[in-house]
A and B are shown apart, each in its own frame.
Chain A
Amino acid sequence: MGVEIQLHVNGKQHHGTVEPRLLLVHYLRDVLGLTGTHIGCETSICGACTVLLDGKAVKSCTLLAVQASGSEITTIEGLASSQKGAGNGAAANGALHAVQEGFWEKHGLQCGYCTPGMILAAVDLLQRNKNPNEGQIRSALSGNLCRCTGYQHIIEAVQYAAKKMSARKPLKMSASAGRTP
């Protein structure tokens, strides 16, 4: 027996009937085809499946799709456009969110598998803390595992983004993101 859900994903409304046990990450990947959100473990440790739920980073493999019903979700595909309040999906014009740009500039990724989750965790941090120090960045990313980079370039990527974001007026990630101080 399916359960009706409705979610706002990357600025677009989705309705559907799902099996209640369907994990949010499988809903995003298999139903909506948003495969940028990855799966790396089943125990809420690796953080590869991190998305923003009502503006806050959560692990979408430890959430049922039905639990997320009524919420607003931003995945990596919608991150860049969400900052402009623009349309759905990856920014067609290649525009990047400052954190994505930081990862590119500072070589914050190798295989790229942990990257979407890492970027969204960093976005969560920069919403709460505009100018985090190294220790704060390390601590904020401790829910995300990377096996390639050793994290150092990731930290530089976040620092790059913080600088860039503070150089312009603050951005709203999503309707409810502004709640966090």
Chain B
Amino acid sequence: MTTRYIGKPLKRKEDPRLIQGISHYVDDLNLAGMHYAAFLRSPHAHANIRSVDLSKARHASGVVLALSGADIDGAIQPVPCAAQIPDMKSAARPVLARDRVRFVGEAVAVVVASDRYAARDALDLIEVDYEPLTPIVNPEKAIAKGATPLHAGHKDNVAFKWELEGGDLKAAFKSADKVIRQRLVNQRLIPVPIETRGVIADYQPGEGQLTVWSATQIPHLLRTQIASMLNFPETLVRVVAPEVGGGFGSKLNVYPEEALVAYLAIQLGKPVKWSESRRENFQATIHGRDQIDDVEVAVKRDGSILGLRCHVIADLGAYYQLLTPLIPTLTGLMMTGCYKIPAARMEITGVFTNKMATDAYRGAGRPEATYLIERVMDLVAAELKKDPVEVRRKNFPQPNDFPYATPTGLIYDSGDYEKALDMALKVADYKKLRQEQAKLRKEGRYMGIGVSTYVEICGMGPSSAMPAGGWESATVRVEPTGRVSVMTGSSPHGQGQETTFAQMGADVLGIDPSQFQVVHGDTSIVPYGIGTFGSRATAVGGTAVYKSLLKVKEKLAHIAAHLVGSDPERMVFADGKISAKESPKKSVAFGQAVSAAYVAKTLPADMEPGLEATTFFEPSNFTYPFGTHICVVEIDREIGDVKLVRYVAVDDCGNVLNPLLVEGQVQGGIVQSVGQALFEEAVYDEQGQLITGELMDYALPHASDLCWIETARTVTPTPVNPLGVKGVGEAGTIGATPALAGAVADALAPFGVHHVDMPFKREKIWQLMRKSSGRVQ
């Protein structure tokens, strides 16, 4: 195969419709007779519901239906949780609260009206009698003796305990020259896709067909879950994910509103739409991170790491969402990062609190792991007075160590960590940066340099290691006109697979990328698939497409060889023709061979007509992209403001289908990390009120907060799939946070500070400098 398109920065096929505003996200769709749902949500973090009075709301103008939890009792199953941990306690989220509310924003009642304004107005007419209970907000207090359990039948607020150990930890700590301990807080975040969630459901009673449009990353899994929650025949449920305005994991879930809006459409026999407000999105769509990590590391004086031990308190919120308990366990698996650490142990205590559930947010457990191990490497360097780069380099596995088995039970597929590190050092001119830093410190200016060498686990994944299947599907169908339809089980929402899969198809079949239409997100068209998350769409979904393309290609080769009188093995696909290697005269136009498959008069004996192939690709392992990020900040001594000065990212995601799109993923991921490092934090007060409840109070990075990001790549293909691609969707977010944190800690080193918890808000930094200003080194 000649690679005319693979690896090239093609412009996206998706863009023309998006830049003209003529495509459709959920809220852009309108059906005849459509009604609008609005949810009344609890203002209390913890309360018993004594009564819900819907009588006034039911009589309000335009209102056709109003329901409380009691009205749907037993009709809709609670929100599913696919993750299973031995001995974990149950904490299923009801679609509407029945007797008790457990977080601010939990839905208590729903109203359907003829327009969205009337639905909203009716909410003000609902009277709920709450008996407020003491909220449990702090996870450590939640598991302290005497704390009241959130859930009936539980003896405490421990959801589960999970542990993982590998290697001889005792020996490691015994032979250590030093043991360094640190508490790290990985704060709670709000994903904030710019499109909030939204659902439309339409029920056709005659056909018995239920159609649900949802802003989701997982249309097929959602179809199965809606069918189960409503006890509705799955074959009659169609789920469509139209344009989806960002997800970042927050739409990798099943939410009460998705089942409930479908239920309402069935009850009313009318289409029903619900559009989430930003406030609802903050309160009742999953949050991310929220771990307290107490870490201990055993080191030798020369900087080699012998062992790592960590206890994690994971604040899960009040209920499980789809993957809630699983997320912190990913932190455990990746805790040793890109280092040869012979022994490691992690214990996780999952804790219930009166907050929204945490779940997968871009990186999902792995940014926490990278943050943990990279902060540890910096602390080791500081303690041993070594350069953080050298401590890292000392502990890298070498290229010939791959496949490399970690003490946590993973097999890293391929890597050359030093190569990426050296490239980043060169691009950043690390030596010069250190000189500049020394010079500025003398002038009383505080510049910091942070280095993160990371590895992440993605391309999720083998089914054996996943809560649901880890495979992906793809159907390639060459239509009679010669155009190619690619149906992928991945559900891209910005990642650009309509383009990259077309690039791949074009090279495999020797035709132009414009001939491809990549179809996704509609369960009635696409064979059952898994979805887009965990940096898997290209590594797993793309491989499924590739394999289907090869099957179709093989059939075409047989047809063409039959037509020109040659050997299928010798057929070459290029420039819209299929030709025999030995003679350019033995050639048919691509369309001619396709036509033969459908007209079916000149096919080889025993060949079925048609030109379609489906693959369910199951990867043998995860993939492990890696890289080095270097960040330079300067701190304003008087205000505590952290200013980004430079950012260098060298990422290795294996082979690349489209470098332009890879760049976009890396840059976007890094900026999400900047958000966590500098600004973002979901803050609940002691009453369990989410006081960062709007974008007025929860700061995202703006264009004006950033510096230019310098990117470069090394290429270490993975042996896990034939494309050699690893995945890049989360790399930026996983790799960047520790570089930012390292830079801030480094800038503050003259103040005797070696670690600060994120976010690095100005006042926090200012306080640290002020407290130690007497002993500036």
Which residues does chain A contribute within 8 Å of B695, judged by CB atoms?
41, 43, 45-46, 145
In the complex, residue of chain A having the shortest beta-carbon distance to the beta carbon of B115: A30
Which residues does chain A contribute within 8 Å of B12, judged by CB atoms?
104, 107
- In the complex, A144→B194 CA distance in Å? 10
In the complex, residue of chain B having the shortest beta-carbon distance to the beta carbon of A103: B19
Interface of A is mostly: loop
In the complex, residue of chain B having the shortest beta-carbon distance to the beta carbon of A36: B21
Give chain B interface residues in 237-278, CB to chain A under 8 Å: 243-246, 248, 275, 277-278
Q: A38-B25, A149-B668 are in contact. Are A90 and B15 (CB under 8 A)?
A: no
- In the complex, A34→B24 CA distance in Å? 11
Instruction: Name the segment of A65-73, A152-160, A165-173 touching the other chain.
Output: A152-160
Q: A40-B196, A110-B495, A111-B246 are in contact. Are A90 and B22 (CB under 8 A)?
A: yes
Q: A43-B278, A43-B694, A145-B702 are in contact. Are A103 and B245 (CB under 8 A)?
A: no
- In the complex, A112→B278 CA distance in Å? 18
B672 at the interface (CB under 8 A from A): yes
Instruction: Name the segment of B48-56, B421-429, B656-664 touching the other chain.
Output: B656-664
- In the complex, A97→B244 CA distance in Å? 24
Q: Is the CB of A137 within 8 A of B22?
A: no
- In the complex, A41→B566 CA distance in Å? 63
- In the complex, A116→B668 CA distance in Å? 18
Give chain A interface residues in 11-50, CB to chain B under 8 Å: 19, 21-22, 26, 29-30, 33-43, 45-46, 48
Q: Is the CB of A151 within 8 A of B706?
A: yes
Q: Is the CB of A110 within 8 A of B668?
A: yes
Which residues does chain A contribute within 8 Å of B22, judged by CB atoms?
36, 77, 90
Q: Is the CB of B117 within 8 A of A115?
A: no
User: A111 contacts which of B24, B116, B244, B660 (Cβ < 8 Å)?
Assistant: B244
Residue among A80, A100, A107 having the largest count of chain B Cβ atoms under 10 Å: A107
In the complex, residue of chain A having the shortest beta-carbon distance to the beta carbon of B282: A41
CB distance from B225 to the nearest CB of A (A): 23
Q: Is the CB of B20 within 8 A of A77?
A: yes
In the complex, residue of chain B having the shortest beta-carbon distance to the beta carbon of A100: B19
Q: Is the CB of A147 within 8 A of B696?
A: no
Residue among B15, B20, B193 having the largest count of chain A Cβ atoms under 10 Å: B20
CB distance from B643 to the nearest CB of A (A): 13
- In the complex, A43→B696 CA distance in Å? 7
Q: Is the CB of A142 within 8 A of B696?
A: no
Q: Is the CB of A90 within 8 A of B195?
A: no
Proximity bits, A74-88, B CB within 8 Å = 1, else 0: 011100100000000
Q: Is the CB of A77 within 8 A of B21?
A: yes
Which residues does chain A contribute within 8 Å of B669, judged by CB atoms?
150
User: A113 contacts which of B30, B246, B278 (Cβ < 8 Å)?
Assistant: B246
Which residues does chain B contribute within 8 Å of A147, judged by CB atoms?
192-194, 246, 248, 668, 672, 700
B92 at the interface (CB under 8 A from A): no
Instruction: Show the binding face of B for A, using Cβ within 8 Å.
Output: 9, 11-12, 14-16, 18-25, 27-28, 30, 116-117, 192-196, 243-246, 248, 275, 277-279, 493-496, 660-661, 663-664, 667-672, 694-696, 700, 702-704, 706, 708-709, 732
Instruction: Show the binding face of A for B, using Cβ within 8 Å.
Output: 19, 21-22, 26, 29-30, 33-43, 45-46, 48, 75-77, 80, 90-91, 94, 96, 100, 103-105, 107, 109-116, 119, 134-135, 137-139, 141-142, 144-155
A-B contact pairs, 10 of them (CB 8 A): A45-B696, A110-B494, A111-B193, A112-B23, A112-B245, A112-B494, A145-B700, A150-B672, A151-B667, A152-B709
